Structures are given as C-alpha cells and as structure tokens.
A = this chain, B = another copy of it.
Amino acid sequence: MPRLLFALLLLVGATFAPATSIAQTTGQIVEVAVPAPSFSGNLLGTPDTQNAAIYLPPSYDQEPQSRYPVIVLLHGIFDDYGVWLENVGVPGILDRLIATGDVPEPIVVMPNGGNRYGGGFYRNSSVSGDWADYIAEDLLGFVDENFRTLVSEESRAIVGHSMGGYGAINLAITRPGLFSTVWAMSPCCLAATEDLSFGNDAWKRAAAVSNAEDVQQLIDANDFFPIAFLGLITAFSPAPDAAPIHADFPFEVVRGEVILDGPAYDRYLDAFPVRQISQARENLRDLRGLALDVGLDDQFLHIPTGALALSQQLGEERIPHRLDVYDGDHRQQVSERLETVVLPWVGGRLEAPQ
C-alpha cells in the first residue's frame, strides 16, 4: 500500500503555477492518478486507476516552452513509488545531478507496480493485468499528454530495481522503439534459478494457497517468499480458468517432492529473459544504452546468477551492453549508484535540448 497521501491531480495544468521569477534549483513532485484500461478484467482486483509520482525539473515552470526527456523508474516488489521518494531520495539526487550538469533536466515518472501478491512484474498477464501495456501506453500516454515531454525514443529511458529491473528488461525486449536507454539495477527474474528455482521449497507453500485467508496467514507470518511466488506465477504463467490462484503451476508436490510438468515447465522457463534474448536481438541492438548491475552479496541468490547469465546471452547474440558486478547487497548501494553511476550514464544517452 502506498505510504503517501496522494494529492491527486484532476486538472493537471492548474497545478504548476508558482510563477516566480527566481530560478528554481529544486524540482517538484506531482502525484497523479492515471487511467489504466490495461487492467480491465484482471483477476486480482488491481484497480484501473493507478497512482504515480512525477518529478518535474527545476526549470519546468519558468520555461513554459521547454520540453524534457523522460526517465521512468520502476520499483521492486512489495513497494510502491514512495520507495524512490523516501528511501532512495530520488528528488534530491536529481536536483544535485541537474545542478552539476551531470544529467540534463528530465521529467522522471515513478509508477506503482504493486498488487495483491506484491507486484505484477510490469508484464502482460491475462490474470494480473497487462502491466507492460500499462507502462508503455496508459502511463506514457498520460504523461506525454499532460506534461511537456519530448515524445521520442531518443529522449526516453527506463531504469528499474529488482522486480523493476526485470520490468525494464522486459519492456526492452517486447517494446522496441519505446525507450532508447535501459538500466536494470539488481534485476530479479532473469532466470529461474537458485531461490527462484522450484527447488526452493517456499514454492510448496505457494502452491498450497487456496484462498485469501491463506495469503493473510503468510503475511502474518512474515513469510513473503510464497506471496512473491504467487505474484510471479500469476505474471509468468497465468491461467484464468485455474482457480483459486488462476495460474498454471508447472509442478505438483507429491509426498513433499516436486514433480515437474514438462510442457508447462517449458512454457514457464521460456517466459524468462535468458531464453528470450535470441528472438529479441534486433530490438536490443537498437538501444543506445543497455546496462545491468548486481551486488555479489544480493540476498536473492538468483539475481547475481541471472545477471551474469543474461550478460553472457547478450554477448553471444552480439548485443552491446554494460555489466557492473559490485561488492554489495540488494539495497544498500541503490541510492549511491543511482546518483554516481546510473543516472549520469542514462542522462548522457538522452537526447535533450542544449
């Protein structure tokens, strides 16, 4: 649940009128309610209006003729855009980077990505809703309509962390021509290994869930892995008719052991990026910048493994990219790296007026 009270904008234009003649040195955060038809008919009760936060750069009000490049930030599971504003400190980071000229003034868009199971993985699903379409169409459409953006691939970048890192890669693979620069920070779910493998017996607890009370019990027990797995399986292996979870689990648990279902397992594995690079290579080669990073002490063991495997696949398919493997964990360096590495690198690739 969002940890912010939203000042929802009904008349977006009216909001930005500070009309001061003094040069602003800080940007402003605007919180918006975005119509999200991409969620119509989803089976998880995700509302078809979604909140998002928008960072408008310091000059936005003073220079009403200016248009700005767009950076989308995708957060991780069990979070909302508040994590960017509060924990990571994105507004201050942007203000500083703009002040030093390290990043051209951008509009930064921070959508929510959460649902009943922690998140929708920014991926289209017949059960959890078409999250990729939401970002690509509903959200960017709304932003391009209501704010003075530069509407072109060359002026659009996407950065995500963890589940959002996956989301950024997924959009790069499936939506050519939308973003020209992509950075996935500690991206989850590139490959179904280690803690994400069906060998993690938290899957058994996920597969045993049959109703909302079961989910609540897991929440009460701080047992988040099975809940996240419900988010994952409804995003990656949706099956609208398969009540109660509406997902196609590619395994059964028989006497405590995992028995794989071959064809379903195939389909499930094929949904992960390490198996999609080959078909998507033209899309990915067209990017101006593609990068991923990972801390070696990531608490989620599949993340280093998956990032290395993706880099290798990218290399084999002759796709330019940058890989940063650093000494750190899943969260502690996010703020610092965003400021010193990620945003300067992303900003340097965005087309913006001089």
Q: How far is the CB of A114 from chain B (nearest CB, A)?
A: 19
Q: Let me know if B318 and A266 touch, CB within 8 A.
A: yes
Question: Is A312's CB within 8 Å of the partner chain B?
Answer: yes
- Please state if B304 and A222 are interface contacts (CB–CB under 8 Å): no
The answer to whether A316 has its CB under 8 Å from any CB of chain B is yes
Contact present for B325 and A315 (CB under 8 Å): yes
Cα A301 to Cα B193 in complex, Å, equals 10
A76 to chain B minimum Cβ distance, whole angstroms, is 13
Residues 314-338 of A contacting B (Cβ, < 8 Å): 314-316, 318-327, 329
Partner of A194, one of B194, B222, B266: B194
Q: Are A199 and B256 in contact (CB under 8 A)?
A: no
Q: What residues on B are CB-neighbors of A144 within 8 Å? A: none
Interface size on A, residues (CB 8 A): 50
A258 CB-CB contact with B under 8 Å: yes
Kindly provide the distance from the CB of A347 to the nearest chain B CB, expressed in whole angstroms.
14
Residues of B within 8 A of A278 (CB): 275, 278
The reply to whether A299 and B262 contact each other, CB–CB distance below 8 Å, is no
Q: Is A257 an interface residue (CB 8 A)?
A: yes
Asked whether, in the complex, the Cβ of A297 is within 8 Å of the Cβ of B225, the reply is: no
Interface residue ranges of A262-277 to B (CB < 8 Å)? 262, 265-266, 275
Known contacts A258-B299, A315-B325, A316-B308; is A197 also within 8 Å of B198 by CB?
no
Contact with B along A235-276 (1 / 0, CB 8 A): 000000000000000000000111110100110000000010
Interfacial chain B residues near A326, Cβ < 8 Å: 320
Establish whether residues A321 and B325, one from each chain, have CB atoms under 8 Å apart when the complex forms.
yes
Contact A201 B202 (CB under 8 A): yes
Q: Kindly report which residue of chain B lies nearest to residue A330, judged by CB atoms.
A: B257
User: Which residue of B has the minimal Cβ distance to A345?
Assistant: B341
User: Which of B197, B198, B201, B320 is the one whose CB lies under 8 Å from A296?
Assistant: B320
User: With an 8 A cutoff between CB atoms, is A196 at the interface?
Assistant: yes
Question: What's the least CB distance linking A224 to chain B, in Å?
Answer: 7
